[in-house]
Structure 1
């Protein structure tokens, strides 16, 4: 069986279905919107003000811009557009305070749960948003459920292969990524010479890789070679949103940090701009590998 045939959409769209992409930052919203267009389902895109990348060209699609403070109006907007399915895609870096939200009847009713969700962190907020949207009869789906070509596959994905010692680093970083994920801290860890040297925090994966690059210039790892970064879904991850993802920028960051490769959890991670990732990794001599997951996608 070819790798392409292993990925199948688990959500089948019919002709009358209308998909909305709520677009944060990064390449994921673009990949989802373009994937849907290729399937013959042009999406309606909600651009999150100040979060969606200015050069994403998502304004090629039918769209509306909305601020985070207007989030209470999202459900009404989607209903007016006769949306049947919703994909939450991309990063949201800003966290408005509860008092900054513009109140409407829907948001007023959800205020007690919203307050609790803000205290529980990203996963709590995502679950509340999904519940709020689905209460109006729409279905929230994961990017991988509707555009399965984004999903990472198991095994080596590049011409460059991990060396025997790299597998020790991959396992160490994987265990660390799962541990911080259980605490809702981050999704990635870096291991060099079998030792975890850096964990992802609020700065995200790009910031983690930049920190690792700086560590190479001094200290006990300055003379060490190779090493890996691994991204895994959190143990209690809301898989319909915020799955870990890598893209060409991740490859460049890993190379700048002196790492030998990248590991992602197969079936629970996304590879954005897939062809560019593999081409870039091969050109730089890095490997990308999908690590077997013992969890359901």
Structure 2
């Protein structure tokens, strides 16, 4: 066993695990319920140093982060001896934005000697393939809105916040924050003819936290009254694409992975 999956919420960890030839070691964060998997090891921020040692002892050489994790708070009373020297790095990560924090974590694993693989490197079939998944096709307004949305995500990249926004008739109506896409859509009101757009921030690390959509995304977009879900082909993970296409058709949504922009 050479690959360990640092697993969080959602279906992505199980999909990544299922794409491997060799059964990976599953590492679950304490208190996070996994979907379709059982954790071989559990850890928390205060025991991360011990986890790193344990992975090395077990012969792990590659690590893949998959699934959602909330940014943890550091509880000094729960620090173990192996993790105590890492506290300055933790504090740097906790004060950084989302991508900045993830870069610190990736750097820690790589300095310890592990190769960090992106979920798309383990399961390349999950990357959005260019084209329209749904029976409904994007019209001129939706294509314009997608361009506005993509530009907005890039312009907001220095603030290191979300990877998703809602645009309607050329205007940005909502921007994802640390609470995630579902919370943004749940708070949405009074928006008609809008789209949900997801794409990576400028210079975002691809090793961790690539934007992801799945069946729940289509359902949330439908509940919010949107016209479609648009992603950047090759830069977004699509979970259960066949089910996503079925839901898009059921809800009469456009589901489009745009290319060439």
TM-score by length of 1: 0.82
Whether 1:49 aligns to 2:30 is: yes
Deviations 1:35-60 (A, max 9, x none): 22xxx22111001122343xx1201x
Whether 1:20 aligns to 2:11 is: no
Structure 1's unaligned 5+ residue stretches are 1-16
Match of 1:252 in 2: 219
Query: Of the candidates 115, 136, 142, which is equivalent to residue 139 of structure 1?
Result: 115
Query: Of the candidates 158, 183, 195, which is equivalent to residue 134 of structure 2?
Result: 158
Instruction: Tell me how far apart the structure 1 counterparts of residues 235 and 26 of structure 2 sit (CA, whole Å).
Output: 24
Preserved contact between residue 45 and residue 74 of structure 2 (Cα < 8 Å): no
Query: Of the candidates 182, 189, 202, which is equivalent to residue 206 of structure 1?
Result: 182
Whether 1:116 aligns to 2:92 is: yes
Structure 2's unaligned 5+ residue stretches are none
Write the mapping of 1:258-277 to structure 2, written as runs, cut at 5 A: 258-277=225-244
Instruction: Tell me how far apart the structure 2 counterparts of residues 100 and 229 of structure 1 sit (CA, whole Å).
Output: 42
Preserved contact between residue 196 and residue 230 of structure 2 (Cα < 8 Å): yes
In the superposition, relative to structure 1, how do residues 196 and 211 fare at CA in structure 2: closer, same or farther (>3 Å)?
A: same
SS of 1:58 mapped into structure 2:
coil
Per-residue deviation, 1:259: 0.8
Preserved contact between residue 264 and residue 290 of structure 1 (Cα < 8 Å): yes
Preserved contact between residue 158 and residue 282 of structure 1 (Cα < 8 Å): yes
**Alignment size in residue pairs:** 261
Instruction: Tell me how far apart the structure 2 counterparts of residues 277 and 77 of structure 1 sit (CA, whole Å).
Output: 38
TM-score by length of 2: 0.92
Deviations 1:181-218 (A, max 9, x none): 33111111101122111111122000111112xx13xx
Preserved contact between residue 88 and residue 241 of structure 1 (Cα < 8 Å): yes
Preserved contact between residue 61 and residue 115 of structure 2 (Cα < 8 Å): yes
In the superposition, relative to structure 1, how do residues 117 and 100 fare at CA in structure 2: closer, same or farther (>3 Å)?
A: farther
SS of 2:156 mapped into structure 1:
helix
Match of 2:168 in 1: 192
Deviations 1:81-140 (A, max 9, x none): 2112110111111421363651434x3333333322221132233222222222232211
Match of 1:10 in 2: none
Preserved contact between residue 232 and residue 259 of structure 2 (Cα < 8 Å): yes
Preserved contact between residue 71 and residue 94 of structure 2 (Cα < 8 Å): no
Instruction: Tell me how far apart the structure 1 counterparts of residues 196 and 148 of structure 2 sit (CA, whole Å).
Output: 10
